[in-house]
Amino acid sequence: MSKLFIIRNAVVVQGLHFIDGSIGFLTSPNGTFRAAVSSPGGQGGSGTNYYLCIRHVPSNTITWSANRNAPVSRAGTMTLSVTGIVVADEDGSLIWSTPTLNSLVWSLQLTEAGDLMLLDQSDAILWESFNHPTDTIVMGQKLPVGGFLSSAVSSSDLSVGSYSLSITASDALLQWQNLTYWTLSMNTVANSISSYPVVQYMAVNQTGLYLFSNNGSVVVFQVNLSISDFGIAKLDYSGQFSVRSFSGTNFKTVFAGPDDICQIPFICGTLSLCSDGSDNLACSCSSNFHFISQNPNICAPSEASYSLSNSCNSTDNINMSKSSFSYLSLGYGIDYFANNFTGPVKSGVNLSVCEDLCSSECSCLGIFYDNSTNSCYVLENQLGSLLSSTSTSSKDRLGFVKVIVGPSPANFAANSGGQPLGFPIAALVLLPFMFFLIATLGFFLWRRSRSSKTGKLNLNSQTIPSSEDLDAFSIPGLPVKFGYEELEVATDKFKTMIGYLELADPRLEGRVTSEDVEKLVRVALCCAHEDPALRPNMVSIVSMLEGEIPSGEPKLESLNFLRFYGRRFAEASTVEQNNGQDDFIFPQLNASLSSSTSRLPLNFSYISSQQVSGPR
């Protein structure tokens, strides 16, 4: 086992010979750490993913890995040359390499602190693993401002997971989906030692966890801990950050954040309610929701007509109107981790405004409404776990989940490994519409075909459509149509004129003059005015008939109703336009059909004075 590689020719290390760190190609001076191409899958090489990694030998714990997002197969290789380190798969494809270096590599060294370094001929450091942490820092390692730790996906998959620990100029933050869920300063055991404004790095030593400033001479935050000769600070794949002290053969957790694991955003899955018991974690669905069979980590609406909405990276929400969404209540006493770290998007608004705001944003998947402040909080992009309310302020918040009304085009379960559920909404809308459209077109084509057959006349035999054919096209409310045969019978083959009669009885010929008839007609027409105010009283009528006063002049505009009298049109014949539109147009009494019009509304919901006191 080598403690130092000095480059003469390229050195090739193959993972086949170094399984699970039991045999490595490089160790630290005292054998505390070992570099190897190995798998975290268990003893005997049972894992399938192989990484260039550094292990803490006494605990067999991986503290750093190179190719965490691109593992190699069992036959993968690591090549060390004067240009750096290269990790390749069995087919020779490049998986990972160190960046371009300032000078040629002379040696590869693993320090007793667990730092893998490339050195030049003068022992100057060209590259070191401490500057590229993964999910762990060890004693003696610094995590600077702007640096971060990223959790693994699982204990056997070292790929970058969903959680991160970031160091800012004032604090250390745990985040999920770029949302903060814990800070070091909020922990009750974290002591603020100095008001120095700028944090420079985080470090862990035998006395505790620290945020340092001024090159390590000023402590900004301190967590007093008792750590043995070796300790690490690690962001676990579960999302919890912890400081662990190694004693004997095992690590002991001496600090953890958050201490309430229900504060971890995805500890129970999507919309699952976390209950932290004394020993075991309990996850359940709130009212109106249930676990789905395709993915037991997702709580979906219990009502089959609702489905969870998807975020903007899905095509499901494209062109959906606000009416396509509804909101299911989570009930009081339930809160969300992000509400304590992000402010409301709107304040002083009612719940409907909050819902409309969420419906108009595809990234919004739910809301929390604070009844005490009328404030609106939004849940965006991905839904995490729920937790029970603990503070008085959070108990006033009521949560709602945005759901799609009707089966989702691609159910939420499909995005989580399940099969798409439900029938597409577009099909549910278009199929009935297309059926109705086809039926309507078929009916009109049938009517048109029948009409064309009926309208054809045999000129040689002078065949005319019968009244039965006309009845097939009668329209309720319009005057009755008579067929040619019926009119021929009624008029004795058109010898008798229908609707024509002399104004004066022929028996009065020679007994009255035309002036008398004209006077009588004038008086009668004046008495028949549609407007009661225009009709003469009885004294005036007698005086006009006896010739004491001139006969009145009938007003034609008040007599137009006579054209429709007795023909189902008893309403006023001259009325103002209704809402700027005319319903029917009829010719004026004293004008040609093409030049004048009179307007008659279709119907009225009141009785006019003319109807109450109409012409007798």
Give residue-wise pLDDT tens across range 572-582. Answer: 444 444 444 44
Structure tokens at 124: 């100057």
Supply the mean pLDDT for the chain: 79
For residue 479, the model assigns a pLDDT of 64
pLDDT at 546: 82
Give the separation between CA 161 and CA 155, rounded to whole angstroms.
Answer: 11
Tokens of 300: 């979906």
- What pLDDT, on the 0 to 100 scale, is given for residue 452? 58
Looking at residue 364, what is its pLDDT?
93
Provide the pLDDT for residue 116.
Answer: 96
> Which pLDDT score, from 0 to 100, does residue 377 have?
95
**Residue 56 backbone dihedrals phi, psi, to 5 degrees:** -85, 110
pLDDT of residue 255: 96
Return the pLDDT at 310. Answer: 82
Which letter does DSSP use for residue 581 in this model?
B
Q: Give pLDDT < 70 ranges for the chain.
A: 1-23, 41-47, 277-279, 313-322, 390-394, 407-430, 450-481, 499-503, 563-616
Cα–Cα distance, 136 to 68 (Å, whole number): 13
Q: Checking DSSP bridges between strand 33-38 and strand 51-56, what pairing results, if any?
A: antiparallel
Residue pLDDT, tens place only, 414-457: 444 333 444 455 555 667 778 778 888 887 777 777 655 555 44
Residues 6+ apart with CB under 8 A from 15: 37, 38, 50, 72, 73, 74, 75, 76, 77, 78
Is residue 158 within 8 Å of 51, Cβ to Cβ?
A: yes
Q: pLDDT at position 125, please?
A: 96
Per-residue pLDDT at 396: 81
Give pLDDT, residue 557.
Answer: 78
**Domains along the chain with CATH numbers:** 7-128 (2.90.10.10), 136-259 (2.90.10.10), 272-312+323-405 (no CATH), 497-564 (no CATH)
Asked if 69 and 159 count as a contact pair (C-beta separation under 8 A), the reply is: yes
- pLDDT for the residue 110: 94
- Give the HSE-up count for residue 63: Cα atoms under 13 Å, Cβ half-sphere: 28
> How far is it, in rounded angstroms, from Cα 167 to Cα 145?
5
Residue 297 pLDDT: 82
User: How many residues belong to the chain?
Assistant: 616
Q: In the prediction, which pLDDT does 488 show? A: 82
Sign of CA dihedral 147, 153, 159, 162: negative
